[in-house]
Amino acid sequence: MTIASELKGEYGVALLHDPLLNKGTSFTEAERDMLGLRGLLPPKVTTMEQQSARVINNVRRQPTDLDKYSYLISLQERNATLFYRIVVDHLFELMPIIYTPTVGLACQKYALIFRRPQGLFISYRDKGRIAQALRNWPNDDVRMIVVTDGERILGLGDLGACGMGIPVGKLSLYTACAGVAPSQCLPVMLDVGTNNKALREDPLYIGVGEERLRGPAYDEFVHEFVEAVQEVFPKACIQFEDFGNTNAFRLLHKYRDKVCTFNDDIQGTAGVTLAGLIASLRLTGGTLADKKFLFLGAGEAGVGIADLIVRALMAEGVSEAVARQQCWLVDSQGLVVKSRTDLAEHKIPYAHDHAPVPDLLAAVEALKPTALVGVSGQPQTFTEPIVKAMGRINERPVILALSNPTSKAECTAEQAYTWTDGRAIFASGSPFPPFELNGKTHVSGQGNNSYVFPGVGLGVIASSARHVTEEMFFVAAKTLASLVTEDDLKTGCLYPDLQRIREVSSHIAAAVVENAIETGLAGIPRPRDLLAHVRRHMWEPKYKDYV
């Protein structure tokens, strides 16, 4: 590849405005002469290490997490390579800033902090021209698209076009956690309006200020988008993100066998949760087949996790009917049982024969579950009586408070440990600090999807898989659980150290590639060394030499 093609013909000021090519003050003297940069930069040539030290110092000086988010996003817009270098080197510190929990607040304030588009905003007014809009994206080798319609942003509800922060943040994690090249990532907001009245009436709102499109018109719009992606970016995988429950299940079922796609809220959440449950067996003893699982929340995440647990149980030789009987759901109306007439279609497979139970505490007492999983988006719903009941029923109760952001967590790590005298095995969707009780430090794991979806996506890219299957998330969960060390478990942590995330992602990707090859879905022959093959696809945040 020639220098000109590498730089896409950009020189001078245009080069400094391209975040994928810009090196800022790290352009060498020779590069400054050759690329028309003389005089456009301060005279001192600095190394990436020097730039990084300055940036992380500036990040830490910001007064609030939202200010840190804005500072980092501004850097990403100017110099993507330096941004990812900083994030990779300080992942534990910065992931809560660029994603949960801070990204939730950033979405709520998105109209105020918006600077420049980092993805494509496609509204239903663009119907008939969606392929044209996709072609306006400057990079043509897109492999991973994260798309939302903004209806169910984390646990915050309908944020309309302000939900764009989620696809941007997810794709940042694809690159930071799994090495998917930023040039291969495309965030998309499908703006179909919003039912958030406050946003519609806000003169600063950046989206379509009308009520949400529904029915056949909505389906036609989404279908045109999916078809346009196949035309413009035929190698791309589409990740549906933060759609409302009804649309999320419908769209996944409609397209999963037709194009390369998955829904992270349903399948990625399931993968990371199953991994935590498998890892917890090393602390509780027994097998998955011995356990009973109770979910607070019967939407995308709850049903998705239950479905993957059923698959895992069937792999242990349990029949599908018996496996489903081990998964119970509680929604806003109480326990999901067969006698109820108000159940949405996705809940019906988990509607079991049982007398009506009005609330979670009564369900815990009646069912005596070994694991309690919160995916409700409702904060402080794992109350002291509920957690204490779990501790009375189980020597080592498994309590997973997975709702995001932190303000929506069903309980805190401190509460879970305190109410069970330190016996709880706890994980949460957003991070909690270590907690000391009775002389022992408990380190709760972060059951965040970032442990799973980046590795799965990398594996799909590295295998040129035609589809993303449930089995891929099953092998991802098993791989993730196998990477939890004894040192992790000694502190009660169900997940590997976050600083190992790129290693974790490479192993998950290798397992996905192997699965794609074995199931005939891969577009490549089997490599001699799967892990080496995957690592060759991993982009490293290092500056290129243009001379």
Active site residues: 99, 170
CA distance 210 to 201: 9
> What are 187's two structure tokens?
């965030």
346 contact partners, CB below 8 Å, separation of at least 6: 245, 249, 298, 303
**Residue showing tokens 């319609």:** 149
The Cβ of residue 49 has, within 10 Å, a number of other Cβ atoms equal to 11
Helix H or strand E encompassing 442:
strand 440-442
Other Cβ atoms within 10 Å of 16 Cβ, number: 20
Cα gap 110→90, rounded to integer Å:
24
Q: Which amino acid appears at position 257 of this protein?
A: D
Pairing of strands 327-331, 293-296: parallel
Q: How far apart are the first and last CA of the chain?
A: 13
Within 10 A of 173 (CB to CB), how many other CB atoms are there? 24
Measured in whole angstroms, how far is the alpha carbon of residue 247 from the centre of its chain?
18
Are 264 and 241 in contact by the 8 Å Cβ rule? The answer is yes
How are strands ordered across the β-sheet holding 445-446?
Answer: 334-335, 327-331, 293-296, 371-374, 398-401, 425-428, 445-446
Helix (H) or strand (E) holding 92: helix 91-98
Strand extents, DSSP E, 171-311: 185-191, 237-240, 261-263, 293-296
Cβ neighbours of residue 471 under 8 Å, at least 6 residues apart? 311, 515, 519
Q: Please, which residues bridge with residue 296 across strands?
A: 330, 374
Cβ neighbours of residue 75 closer than 8 Å, sequence gap 6 or more: 55, 82, 83, 86
| Burial of 257: CB neighbours in 10 Å, binned 0-12, 13-18, 19+ | exposed
Are the CB atoms for 67 and 102 separated by under 8 Å? no
Backbone conformation region of residue 22, classed left if phi is above 0, alpha if psi is from -120 to 50, else beta: beta
Could you tell me which of 543, 451, 547, 540 has the C-alpha nearest to residue 180?
Answer: 540
Task: Indicate the burial class of 538 (C-beta count within 10 angstroms; 0-12, 13-18, 19 or more).
Answer: middle
Range 224-239 burial, b when 16+ CB lie within 10 A, else e: bbbebbeebbeebbbb
